[in-house]
């Protein structure tokens, strides 16, 4: 599985950068149309001023804008910033997007009530990332992460998609709580973390809620 993941990593990079125009199509196909539903499982846990790290094509940005949240986005991909910008402008939504890295968030201390990341890569567990997130959160703030989702339906196509997710490492194991190793990363960064498995139609999503 590690070999498969190492071979897929450059493909994922291209999908998020040079071939970002295919991202929505690929995400929809591999998730059997559930991708946006998975992303929106984070919404009930968000409040106040929200920073989304890794906003990608901007679907969560658009949804939060429609619900009258004050939402800001941070992403290192120039191509994704263009896509998200076009999507937000098309719908007349606020355009508060910034390019940068999660290990060096370009915002002042105690700026946000919530920070959210959906399907982030390994950078989200970098101690520098967690340190920066803690810095920009208010004392009562929270970090919400959607790291993984599982397709649990029993139809042949759903079982095939679930198998592909497993062998590529996108959804290893079975639906369940956060691992002890991951919990320790948050604890060392000053967070208390809990996990919830959200049940959807034919799938489940794992949401991590880390509070100061």
Neighbours of 82 (CB within 10 A): 15
Could you please report the per-residue DSSP string of 44-69?
A: GG--SEEEEES-TTSHHHHHHHHTT-
Neighbours of 113 (CB within 10 A): 18
Mean pLDDT of the chain: 88
By CB atoms closer than 10 A (0-12, 13-18, 19+), residue 33 is exposed
Report CA 26 to chain centroid distance, whole Å: 16
Class of 2-211 per CATH? alpha beta
Closest to 147 (Cα-Cα) out of 114, 115, 124: 124
**Token pair of 123, please?**
């950078």
Lowest mean pLDDT among 21-25, 134-138, 140-144, 187-191: 21-25
Label residue 176 by pLDDT band (50, 70, 90): low
Share of the chain above pLDDT 90, in %: 62
CA 116 to each of CA 49, 113, 152, 153, 182: distance values in angstroms, whole numbers, following the listed order: 11, 10, 25, 27, 17
Q: What is the pLDDT of residues 57-78, one digit of tens each?
A: 999 999 999 887 799 999 999 9
Q: Which residue shows structure tokens 């910034």? A: 98
Rg (CA), the chain: 17
What pTM, to 2 d.p., does this model score?
0.90
Residue 167: predicted pLDDT: 58
CA distance 65 to 145: 19
Residue 173: predicted pLDDT: 65
What strand order describes the sheet that includes 49-53?
97-99, 70-75, 49-53, 112-118, 137-151, 203-211, 192-200
Strands (DSSP E) found in 77-189: 97-99, 112-118, 137-151
Label residue 1 by pLDDT band (50, 70, 90): very low
């Amino acid at each position: 599985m590690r070999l498969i993941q190492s071979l897929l990593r450059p493909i994922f990079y291209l999908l998020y950068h040079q071939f970002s125009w295919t991202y929505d199509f690929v995400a929809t196909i591999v998730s059997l149309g559930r991708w946006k539903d998975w992303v929106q499982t984070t919404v009930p846990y968000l409040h106040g001023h929200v920073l989304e790290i890794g906003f990608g094509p901007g679907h969560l940005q658009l949804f939060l804008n429609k619900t009258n949240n004050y939402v800001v986005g941070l992403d290192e991909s120039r191509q994704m910033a263009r896509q998200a910008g076009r999507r937000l402008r098309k719908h007349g939504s606020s355009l508060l997007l910034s390019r940068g890295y999660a290990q060096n968030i370009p915002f002042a201390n105690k700026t946000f009530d919530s920070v959210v990341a959906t399907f982030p890569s390994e950078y989200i567990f970098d101690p520098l990332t967690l340190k920066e997130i803690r810095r920009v959160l208010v004392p009562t703030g929270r970090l919400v992460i959607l790291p993984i989702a599982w397709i649990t339906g029993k139809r042949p196509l759903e079982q095939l998609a679930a198998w592909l997710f497993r062998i590529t490492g996108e959804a290893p194991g079975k639906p369940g709580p956060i691992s002890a190793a991951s919990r320790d990363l948050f604890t060392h960064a000053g967070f208390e973390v809990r996990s919830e498995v959200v049940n959807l139609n034919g799938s489940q999503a794992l949401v991590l809620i880390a509070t100061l």
